[in-house]
Structure formats: structure tokens, C-alpha cells
Amino acid sequence: MRREHIAELVCASGQHKLNLQVGALEEQGEIKEGLLACSEECPPVPIRGCVPRFVPNSGYSESFGEQWNRFRRTQIDKYNGTTLSKERFYSGTGWSPAELKGARILEAGCGAGRFTQIMLDAGAHVYSVDLSSAVDACFANHGPHENLCVVQADLYRIPFRRHSFDKVFCYGVLQHTPDPRGSFMSLAPFLKPGGELAMDVYLKGWALEPYKSKYLYRPLTTRMPRDLLFRFLRWYIPKWLPIDTFIKRLPVMGQVLGMVIPCWNYHYLPLSRQQKTEWGILDTFDALAPAYDDPQTPESVTEWFTSAGLAGIRVRLGGNGVLGNGKAPLTR
């Protein structure tokens, strides 16, 4: 992290500013190693690998840390040669590059930084938070950068000042927390008056979709050692993918048969064969490994926005399930 970002942070109590202790190691304008402390008795915050660590470990989210460090560059546009993440970001949020320029954005759950790149490219000041060790992948992909601050912290205890962000962005995260509604409610207070929040969450329901079969397997796969699950997927996905592609292209019955064996298949995307295999392993692991997977209905998401006191609410189907947008009132 950079010295100027220290003033943005608060301690575990959420009330006191932090100070960098003597003996910090700096490189390329970034504090690589060091210790942050407040004037009270809050636990000190170590900085390792340029990232302040407000949590001692990743807990329930460590499967995400493992997957994003193993596949650090797979879904990053600047490395895979596509604009897939850029298209998803702008079509989902409804935001434009012009309105992001100079904006302060809280990214809740950054992963490897798939969308971090899009915001940085638009000239935004991005404050990325993740509970897992994926923060290391995000910083490796996009740091050091003068407009990027990456922090390892819990979404329930985000260590920034409230009402200080123009936008809050949270994609691919809420369904994987112990309490999706509670996680959402923890984000809204960080908006400035008039600030905007964009989120997505998996859609609840049993419509005939190939990827819903994961819920038949998750009682087993979430109990497997994660390394064993990963090694199994790395073995079987390359072998099964061509067969799965044939099955899913079958008219009518392909959708039914494609539900039997979980395989995230992106045969329809402009990716190389190797990239499709990597994405298949990555997203199948992403579906089967996380401790929590709690999809929602559009009605429940609408209730979240309403209860958070947001205005201009827009909830609809899209993206990975349900997309939601809302604005903080201009006056509080």
C-alpha cells in the first residue's frame, strides 16, 4: 500500500486512524512490510506483500484464495486478450468510463482483480477488499499502482471511513458469505450521499439449467480436501470438456443431459482451447468448493435495497443471476 492510503484506513473499532510504525520497508512507492497501529488498544495491523491484513486468515473463504492464486491471470482481460470482463462490468453496472474517472470506488470482494483492471483503466481510485488471500493475486496483477489500495479484511468490518465512496461494487461475492443480506447491508453505509451501489448474486430456483446440478454434488465436494478436489478437476475437466460440449449442443435434450455431470463449459466464448479448459477448471472449482452458496430471488434483493434506504432501485435478471443497482439519498 502507499503512504497516502494510510489516512483512508481506520482501526478494527472503525473509529480511530492508523499510523505506520517505525521500521517499515518501502519499494516502488509501496509499503511492502510494516505495522499499522492506532492510539487505542486495537490489535496492530501487519502489512505483508504490500497488503494490510486486518484478518489473521481467510477462514471460510480460503477456497477462493486458492483458486485465484492458482488462476491469477485466467479471467483478466489484459492477459487473456478478450474484453469479456469489461463487457460484463459495464453492461451489468450501467456505469460509463467517463463517470468512473476520478471516482472513489470500494470494491467488495476483488478476487484476482478481474474487474479491478476495468475500474483502474477508467481512471478510478479503487479500494479493493477481500477476506481471502486472493488479495495477493489482485496486487500481483495490478500493483503497484498509485490509484489502487488492496486490503485483506472482512466485509462486516471494512476498515475505511463510512460515507466516503462515490461507488460500491460487489460482484460474485454475496452468495458466498454466511449471511448475504447482512453482507449487503454492511456495504451501503460506505456510500457518499448520492453514491451508487452495484451488486449481483446467484438466482434462486430450480429452472432447467445445466449449472444447477452443483447443488447435488456440493454436500460431498464441500467436505472434500480442497487440494484433492482441485487435482480431480484438473484431471477430469480436460477429458470431459469435449464430450460435454457435444452434449450441450444437442437440441432440447442437451440441456437435460448437461446437468448430469457438473462442468462449467465456455465453448461459446472467444477463447483458445487452453483458456476454455482453464476457465472450466476454475469455475467448476468455484461452484463446488466454497463453504457457502446461497442464491436469492429478485424479490429478496429488492428488499435489501429498500431496507438499506437506497433510492433509484433497479433489480433485474442478468449476469450471473440477479443484478441490482441503487443510490444513497442525497441527504441523510
* 210 pLDDT tier (thresholds 50, 70, 90): low
| Nearest to 152, CA basis, from 104, 201, 116, 108 | 108
**pLDDT at residue 43, rounded to an integer:** 87
Phi–psi pair at 36, nearest 5 degrees? -110, 140
Give per-residue pLDDT as tens, 299-308: 999 999 999 9
User: What value does the mean pLDDT of the chain take?
Assistant: 93
Whether the Cβ atoms of residue 119 and residue 143 lie closer than 8 Å to each other:
no
Cβ atoms < 10 Å from Cβ of 39: 10
State how far the alpha carbon of 250 is from the alpha carbons of 106, 240, 257, in Å. Answer: 43, 16, 9
Which domains are assigned to the chain?
3-203+296-327 (3.40.50.150), 210-288 (no CATH)
| pLDDT reported for residue 64 | 87
Instruction: Taking residues 276-303, report their average pLDDT.
Output: 96
Q: Which residue has the cell 447435488?
A: 216
242, amino acid identity = P
The Cα–Cα gap between 296 and 199 comes to: 12
Q: What is the pLDDT of residues 113-145, one digit of tens each?
A: 999 999 999 999 999 999 999 999 999 999 999
Work out the average pLDDT over 62-82: 92
Rounded distance between C-alpha atoms, residue 152 and residue 167, angstroms: 19
pTM score: 0.95
Q: What is the mean pLDDT of residues 290-312?
A: 97
Maximum Cα–Cα distance for the chain, whole Å? 66
Q: Note the pLDDT of residue 62.
A: 80
Mean pLDDT of 248-277: 88
| Residue found under cell 453482507 | 183
Q: Mind listing the pLDDT tens digit for each residue in 2-30? A: 999 999 999 877 778 999 999 999 998 89
Average pLDDT estimate for 207-224? 84
Residue 39 makes CB contacts below 8 A (sequence gap 6+) with: 16, 19
